[in-house]
Amino acid sequence: MGSFCVSITSAKNDPDKATVGFVVANAAVGSDQDTMVFLSTEGVWLAKKGYADDIEEDGFAPLRDLLASFIEAGGKVYVCSPCCKKRSIDETDLIEGATIVGGAKLVEWLANGSPCVTY
Amino acid sequence: MGSEVESFADGWDAGDLGCGELIVELRSRLKALAPGERFELIAHDPGVREDLPAWCRLTGHRLDRSEPPRYIIISREDP
């Protein structure tokens, strides 16, 4: 199985990018790729419970459904630790299936040869 | 019958430090160790739980124990 990384740096400041990032992540995990979404900077809000519930872009599935299907399919959601800290988001605020990590986790994933696309 | 007292070549209480700031400082502290020496890290950042195993796999240091916020690292052969 190949691996794939989708880096998402936007939330409600650019819901179009946040949504398309998760659409691509679903495409990757649905194509049998070991897939991680890395949420950093504003993107970390997407992993906060309830935050994504009202993001529904025209022409796309609601973000909450994209998130749920991605996690259900075995995709991993990693959330940047210092980006959470800056925004006073802690582990108890996160949706089930999201994990707080630091940069080494991302470095390892990419150093093993994973492609990465950023939104 | 007495409990064994653990010994470490060095240790560091990183407090709430995490991510790249912790990693680069940890690297320099491990560099000062001889091969096979044990290092005790205290780190409260929740990201360290996933980061430290990844960092050890990348660098060749060995994570002997992970008991957050306490981690025991064994220095690689060529620190």
Rounded to a whole number of angstroms, the distance between the first and last alpha carbons of chain A is 24
pLDDT digits (tens, 9 = 90+) for B2-22: 567 889 999 999 999 999 999
> Which of B16, B19, B30 is most worth mutating to test chain A (most A CB atoms within 10 A of its CB)?
B19
pLDDT digits (tens, 9 = 90+) for B19-65: 999 999 999 999 999 999 999 999 999 999 999 999 999 999 999 99
Chain B nearest-CA residue for A103: B19
Query: Quick check: B19 and A91 CB within 8 A?
Result: no
> Total domain count for chain A?
1
> Total domain count for chain B?
1
Residue-range definition of the domain harbouring residue B35: 10-74
As a whole number of angstroms, the distance between CA A81 and CA A106 comes to 12
CATH number of B65's domain? 3.30.110.40
In contact, A70 and A77? CB cutoff 8 Å: yes
User: In B, residues 38-77, which contact A (CB 8 Å cutoff)?
Assistant: 45-48, 50-52, 54-55, 57-58
- pTM here is 0.90
Q: Is residue B5 part of a domain?
A: no
Q: Is residue B31 part of a domain?
A: yes
Chain A nearest-CA residue for B22: A102
Residues 6+ apart with CB under 8 A from A20: A60, A119
- Give me the pLDDT at residue B3, please: 62
